[in-house]
Structure 1
């Protein structure tokens, strides 16, 4: 597995598009952990300008332990398209430039070739989760007034859930890239499916009362594993835990796209 990861890292090292997209993703994760408090302070100043001194948005514990873990992971998972695009470029370029044939000639089997991409997806997911954990820990230490070891790590399992969400989505993007083989078309299909098809299907079906639709749409299933946490700041009830049916749906999609991606490459004539 480490051999396959080293091969993939060597491939992406000279790739400018991969570096740009990955850098944009890391910057976006960093912004999540620095932008909210200045925005809340801006809102407070605006309220004061309108003689509304009693309203203080800065008391919202967005960056405080343990709230920070669900807050930042819910926001961060919506940035996943950036990493998805980087993997689409990686796998579609192999088909466009016929380097997959050279990989097979050099000794990699077709199965090892695609597993190396999946291993890369796992590496990116774990690296992103680790980066987000460090940012969350630093930000939480800055903004939490009463800190204890138990409070710091309470609900930190959301970081592991984030890694699973991201890995599942990246395997899905690999499936799309392998299926279509053209980077621009594959990215267009991914955007259209994620932002249009699933949203229309989910909105229509939930309107009709079919709430189970969230379990059969892959991206919605991934997104809903961590529920939106912010309504609790206006005294609404939110789900601040992971349910087994939602976790099972994501694991099922992960297994499905893992199998389908490998099968597509192994059965395809190079």
Structure 2
């Protein structure tokens, strides 16, 4: 495993574009800390974002993992470019000539996917600890390290998403087309969910039960939007609607299982394509 990972890291290190994208990704993740500096003044009304509780433990685990997942496209570009370069520069064929099997090749790519997902998760964990201890009103050990399942869900979400990108990179061979296919897939899923919700299954939750099995939607379901958990949003909503918002924000075992199954499917299809393809 170490040898396979070293081969992939060497390829990435020698690619300038990949290094820039990886560094840009982690720099952008750091910008989450800048949210604490955002302030709005409207006459007598003053709003300091950090004072709204977004960096309170344990809510910060939910908030930061949801925000951080928005930037995953940067590493997705690295993944598809990594695969496209294998075909463009002939390194895939050369690796196979040098004795690397197709199974080992796929394993090396998946190890890279896991490394990216793990590195991002650790980064978000450390950044959240720093921000939490700087701004949180609750610093008790039991509170700080509760709701850690959001970090686990974040890792699983990134692993699945990068595995999907890897499959597209193998299938299409060109990074631009692979990213275009990713965009097209997300649009098709949104259209399908919209049709089920407003056309075929009106006034029912059937569309949710079906759409939870869609690849991208299942990943999205792992970490639900956190903003409606904030007290200021809840108060505003209850004032407007006259009802309290009732929403389940927890990470569910069923959602995790669906995403893990998709991850296995992505990698198996990737291997089958590579195995049958004449290189």
Task: Judge same fold: TM > 0.5, yes or no.
Answer: yes
Specify the alignment match of 2:35 in structure 1. Answer: 36
In structure 2, do the counterparts of structure 1 residues 133 and 203 end up closer, same or farther at CA, with 3 Å as the change threshold?
A: same
Please, which of 197, 204, 207 is the counterpart of residue 195 of structure 2? 204
Cα displacement string for residues 130-189 of structure 1 (whole angstroms, at most 9, x for unaligned residues): 011000000000001331111111112211210110001100000000000112111211
Q: Is the partner of 2:71 in helix, strand or coil?
A: helix
Specify the alignment match of 1:255 in structure 2. Answer: 264
Which stretches in structure 2 are left out of the alignment for 5+ residues?
A: 235-244
Specify the alignment match of 2:45 in structure 1. Answer: 52
1:69 aligns with 2:38: no
Cα displacement string for residues 4-60 of structure 1 (whole angstroms, at most 9, x for unaligned residues): 11111111111111112111211121112x122222xx22xx23x2x336x665531
Residue 192 (structure 1) shift? 2.5
Residue 90 (structure 1) shift? 0.5
Task: Tell me how far apart the structure 1 counterparts of residues 213 and 109 of structure 2 sit (CA, whole Å).
Answer: 25
Task: Tell me how far apart the structure 1 counterparts of residues 119 and 217 of structure 2 sit (CA, whole Å).
Answer: 23
Specify the alignment match of 2:167 in structure 1. Answer: 175
* Equivalent residue pairs, number: 261
Alignment of 1:211-226 (within 5 A): 211-226=208-223
Q: Is the partner of 1:224 in helix, strand or coil?
A: helix
Q: Is the partner of 1:13 in helix, strand or coil?
A: helix
Task: Tell me how far apart the structure 2 counterparts of residues 77 and 169 of structure 1 sit (CA, whole Å).
Answer: 10
Please, which of 101, 107, 110 is the counterpart of residue 99 of structure 2? 107
Specify the alignment match of 2:85 in structure 1. Answer: 93
Which stretches in structure 1 are left out of the alignment for 5+ residues?
A: none
Specify the alignment match of 2:155 in structure 1. Answer: 163
TM-score norm. by structure 1 comes to 0.91
Task: Tell me how far apart the structure 2 counterparts of residues 219 and 205 of structure 1 sit (CA, whole Å).
Answer: 16
Specify the alignment match of 2:132 in structure 1. Answer: 140
- Alignment RMSD (CA, Å): 1.6
Q: Is the partner of 1:64 in helix, strand or coil?
A: coil
Moved more, 107-116 or 170-179: 107-116
TM-score norm. by structure 2 comes to 0.89
Q: Is the partner of 1:145 in helix, strand or coil?
A: coil
* Aligned partners of 1:91 and 1:177 also within 8 Å: yes
Moved more, 211-220 or 142-151: 211-220
Task: Tell me how far apart the structure 2 counterparts of residues 129 and 92 of structure 1 sit (CA, whole Å).
Answer: 26
Task: Tell me how far apart the structure 2 counterparts of residues 192 and 35 of structure 1 sit (CA, whole Å).
Answer: 32
